[in-house]
Amino acid sequence: MSERISPETIQKVRHGAEEILGTDNSGHGMDHVERVYRLSMGFVDELPDAQRDVVALGALLHDVDDYKLVGKEKAEQLSNATKIMEAAGVDFEIQEAVREMIATMGYSKSLKGIRPTTLEGMILSDADMCDALGASGTIRCLQYAVSDKGSGIVFDPEIWPNVDITAGQYTGGKTTHGTDSFVNHHFEKLLKLQGMMLTEPGKREAVKRGEIMVKFLRAYFEEQNVPDWNEFLDKYLASR
């Protein structure tokens, strides 16, 4: 579909997001945003019925109100995304579409049964989840674990993941929880994402990235000399 937003407006929105996320060290900074943006635009190329400008804005703004960064109450208001779009002169109709996308994406929302219903939202959700997989996803996971928002635990072989974690257990009013660690996060969230893709290009990309993540875990468990964790990984994958 034709674009309704000028490149100059896109840049204004990008700069607005950078003012908020530019110093983030938890894996939700502008490097993540730009990767999601590129993935989203690639997915749109394969799904031309989607509104490209809406996906572009959603990609740039999807984390400016993330609950892990601004808290749950403020996150639901999407005030940062709204202020940035208003300052950039984005039409109200497009603002509404972008807010709807952001409000229905994310793993914690999926645990509550909330998923995107528009093609644009599905594209953005897939792109965001794909960036939680693969080599970049592994680095982001480690960043978060050792940041001030994470548990500070990379791997504790005595703490097993809660593979059927609920929404309440996952957030618990905080940015981490009792079984959270770099390794456990793979089982509690990341390895589940491949089965949550909503578009064909997202599914293909997730398969490729998921294989990278599994190979990393196998090598890590071998180097740590914890064969029971590799057995756990095998059973986990077989069950899904």
**If you ran DSSP here, which 8-state letter would residue 182 be given?**
H
Read off the pLDDT band of 25 (50, 70, 90).
Answer: confident
Report whether 62 contacts 105 (CB < 8 A). Answer: yes
Q: How far apart are CA 57 and CA 59, in angstroms?
A: 5
Contact indicator for 170, 177 with CB cutoff of 8 Å = yes
The predicted structure's pLDDT at residue 2: 42
**Where do the domains of the chain lie, and which CATH numbers do they carry?**
7-239 (1.10.3210.50)
Q: Quick one: what percent of the chain has pLDDT higher than 90?
A: 80
pLDDT at 108: 87
pLDDT digits (tens, 9 = 90+) for 114-172: 999 999 999 999 999 999 999 999 999 999 999 988 999 999 999 999 999 998 888 76
The amino acid sitting at 182 is F
Choice among 72-76, 180-184, 225-229, 233-237 with the minimum mean pLDDT: 72-76
Task: Measure the N-to-C terminal CA separation of the chain; round to a whole number of Å.
Answer: 37
pLDDT of residue 3: 56
3-state SS assignment for residue 53? helix
How far CA 230 is from CA of 134, 135, 176, 221, in Å, comes to: 18, 19, 24, 6
Q: Across residues 2-11, what is the average pLDDT?
A: 82
Distance, in Å, from the CA atom of 73 to the CA atom of 29, rounded to the nearest integer, reads 21
d(CA 104, CA 215) in angstroms, rounded, equals: 31
d(Cα 96, Cα 208) in Å, to the nearest integer?
A: 33
